Amino acid sequence: MVRGLRRSDAVHHKGISKETVAVGFLMRLILIVIVLAVAGGAIFLATWDMPAPTSRVEKVIPAERFK
């Protein structure tokens, strides 16, 4: 520990503060969670067997459209 500095003010041996390391770890963790969520959503949508609509649709088409 350096004289005159509190333990929380001390700097790691690489010159990076503990707060910087914590923020970097948090940002990396958030990025990994976002990537996993997007990948999981894409896999879910690609493999989901969505049922076809079951309601019947009837529409009258005028005969003039076929001439």
- For residues 14 and 17, give the distance between their C-alpha atoms in angstroms, rounded to a whole number: 9
How much is the pLDDT for 67? 72
Domains of the chain by residue range: 12-48
pTM for the full model?
0.54
Q: What stretch of H or E contains 47? A: helix 18-47
How much is the pLDDT for 64? 86
- pLDDT tens profile 9-64: 555 556 778 888 889 899 999 999 999 999 999 999 999 998 988 898 899 988 88
How much is the pLDDT for 19? 84
